[in-house]
């Protein structure tokens, strides 16, 4: 009787299959080298001094992070709390939040409707919603810009109706950014919601009706709780990119309405403060990671609850 044991099994498997590490190696190397290393460099940069013509000087300082909250008077050396950057962060969170909520309110009925179509129609709907998902964000934002400008269609239409006699300023306002964000991210909310609702066992709704529930109650007490994974995924998919949005605030907000995204980009452009930009990029990343961790915990919990 021969004892083969675990060694023979692994030797066998190693010959039988190409090493997994060889297969996944290239992907890991590329992402580690050109994805993770840059992030580490950004982190390092946030602790350096800004170079005079852009770039950095290799001296350690926490000035960048201090700069975020405080302004140091160069003459008197006094430190004063400035809310400007916090305001920008707050505006970004607010805009991203409102966008997420609105997308949810509009997206849920849409996804529900799609999920309750007969299968042949369903594919068509998914296809139609998916297309805007994959088209160029810049172009789509431009399309919104066309509509809300002073000479744009909205104003043209209102003028033609006689409701107004001068074009109303929509472009370059917070509202414009909000509209842009809504338009950009609506498919990002609908698709995960649809994925969740499509798997819903409608026999549960049937059972609810059998137990005297109204349509509204069935919706609130059965459908929505069961669609929770999709709701959370959709909210995350809208909030996180929305928070770091760059194209929309630049194109639709003009130069003055800044969100985190273009504030960061500014530091690497005309403001020439790379450490500060890096610091803010990292704060943004921290917020995103927080949101993702909360998501991971909530899905873990919901898995336990729904079995």
Partner 1 sequence: MADIAAVEARGVTKIFGQGQDGVRALDDVSIAIRQNEFFTLLGPSGCGKTTLLRLIAGFELPSAGEILLEGQPVGHLPPYERAVNTVFQSYALFPHMTVAQNIGFGLEMQGRPAAERARRVEEMLALVKLAGLAARRPSQLSGGQQQRVALARALANRPKVLLLDEPLSALDLKLRKEMQIELKRLQHETGITFIFVTHDQEEALTMSDRIAVMNRGRILQIGGPTEIYEHPTEHFVADFIGETNFLEAEVRGVNNGEAALRFPSGGELAVPTARAIAQGTKVSLALRPERSSLVKAGSPALLTGRVQNIVYFGTDTTYYVELEGSGSFTVRMQNREGARLSFAQDEIVGVAFAPDAVQILAD
Partner 2 sequence: MAEQALPQPAGVTLAKRQPTPKSFDLKRQPGFGVIAMACLAALYAPIVILVLFSFNASRSVTRWSHFSLDWYASVVTNIEVHDAARNSLTISIVATIVSTMVATAAALATTRTRPWPGMTAAYTVVNLPLLVPEIVTAVATLSFFSLLAAQFDINFGIGNLIIAHTVFCIPFAYMPIRARLEDMDLTLEQAAADLYATPWRTFRRITLPLLTPGITAGGALAFIVSFDDFTITQLVAGPGQTTLPLYIWGQLHKAGVTPEVNAISAILLAISILLVSLSFVIGSRRRT
Residue 12 partner contact from partner 2, partner 1, none using kind-dependent CB cut-offs of 5 to 8 Å: partner 1
At its nearest, how many Å lie between partner 1 and the CB of residue 10? 10
Q: Angle, to 10 degrees, between the axis of helix 228-243 and the axis of helix 174-198?
A: 150
Nearer to partner 2, 63 or 282 (CB): 282
Beta strands 56-57; 70-72: pairing state: unpaired
Name the region of 215 (left: φ>0; alpha: ψ -120 to 50; beta: rest).
alpha
At its nearest, how many Å lie between partner 1 and the CB of residue 307? 21
Nearer to partner 1, 9 or 78 (CB): 9
Nearer to partner 2, 65 or 112 (CB): 112
Binding string to partner 2 for residues 140 to 179, with x set by CB under 8 A, is what? x-xxxxxx-x-xxx--x-----------------------
At its nearest, how many Å lie between partner 1 and the CB of residue 17? 10
* 41 lies in the site for partner 2, by CB under 8 A: yes
Q: Which residues of the chain form contacts with partner 1 (CB under 8 A)?
A: 1-6, 8-9, 12, 15-16
Q: How far is CA 303 from CA 197, 226, 283, in A?
A: 16, 11, 30
At its nearest, how many Å lie between partner 2 and the CB of residue 223? 8
167 in helix, strand or coil?
coil
Segment lying near partner 2 (by CB under 8 A), choices 21-29, 63-71, 78-86, 161-169: 21-29
How buried is residue 234: exposed, middle or buried, by Cβ count under 10 Å (0-12/13-18/19+)?
buried
DSSP 8-class letter at 57: E
Residue 146 partner contact from partner 1, partner 2, none using kind-dependent CB cut-offs of 5 to 8 Å: partner 2
Nearer to partner 1, 3 or 151 (CB): 3
At its nearest, how many Å lie between partner 2 and the CB of residue 110? 4
At its nearest, how many Å lie between partner 1 and the CB of residue 21? 21
Nearer to partner 2, 42 or 174 (CB): 42
> CA–CA separation, 223 vs 91, rounded Å?
33
Binding string to partner 2 for residues 44 to 63, with x set by CB under 8 A, is what? -x---------x--------
Segment lying near partner 2 (by CB under 8 A), choices 1-9, 70-78, 161-169, 256-264: 256-264
**DSSP per residue, 76-111:** T--EEE--HHHHHHHHHHHHHHHHHHHHHHHHHHHH
Per residue, what are the HEC states of 230-255?
HHHHHHHHHHHHHHCCCHHHHHHHCC
Applying the rule CB under 8 A, the residues between 215 and 234 that interact with partner 2 are: 215, 219
Q: How far is CA 1 from CA 4, 7, 9, in A?
A: 9, 16, 17
At its nearest, how many Å lie between partner 2 and the CB of residue 20? 4
Nearer to partner 2, 55 or 72 (CB): 55
Residue 54 has φ and ψ, to the nearest 5°, of 95, 170
Nearer to partner 1, 16 or 160 (CB): 16
32 in helix, strand or coil?
helix
How buried is residue 184: exposed, middle or buried, by Cβ count under 10 Å (0-12/13-18/19+)?
buried
Applying the rule CB under 8 A, the residues between 59 and 88 that interact with partner 2 are: none
Contact status, residue 234 vs residue 190, Cβ threshold 8 Å: yes
């Amino acid at each position: 009787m021969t004892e083969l044991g675990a060694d023979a099994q692994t030797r066998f498997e190693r010959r039988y299959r190409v090493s997994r590490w060889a297969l996944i190696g290239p992907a890991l190397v590329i992402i580690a080298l050109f994805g993770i290393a840059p992030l580490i460099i950004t982190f390092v940069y946030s602790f350096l001094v800004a170079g005079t013509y852009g770039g950095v000087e290799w001296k350690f300082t926490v000035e960048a992070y201090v700069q975020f909250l405080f302004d140091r008077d160069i003459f008197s050396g006094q430190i004063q709390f400035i809310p400007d950057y916090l305001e920008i962060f707050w505006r970004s969170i607010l805009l991203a939040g409102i966008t997420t909520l609105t997308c949810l309110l509009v997206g849920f009925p849409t996804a529900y409707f799609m999920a309750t179509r007969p299968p042949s129609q369903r594919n068509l709907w998914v296809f139609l919603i998916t297309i805007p998902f994959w088209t160029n964000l810049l172009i789509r934002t431009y399309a919104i810009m066309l509509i809300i400008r002073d000479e744009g269609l909205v104003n043209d239409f209102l003028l033609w109706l006689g409701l107004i006699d001068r074009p109303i300023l929509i472009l370059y306002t917070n509202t414009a950014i909000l509209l842009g964000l809504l338009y950009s991210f609506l498919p990002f909310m609908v698709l995960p919601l649809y994925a969740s609702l499509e798997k819903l066992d409608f026999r549960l709704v049937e059972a609810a009706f059998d137990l005297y529930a109204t349509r509204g109650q069935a919706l609130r007490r059965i459908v929505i709780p069961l669609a929770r994974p999709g709701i959370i995924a959709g909210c995350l998919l809208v909030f996180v990119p929305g928070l770091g949005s760059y194209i929309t605030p630049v194109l639709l907000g003009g130069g003055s309405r800044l969100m985190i995204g273009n504030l960061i980009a500014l530091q690497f452009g005309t403001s020439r403060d790379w450490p500060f930009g890096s610091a803010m990029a990292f704060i943004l990343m921290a917020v995103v990671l927080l949101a993702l961790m909360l998501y991971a915990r909530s899905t873990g919990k919901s898995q336990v609850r729904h079995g």
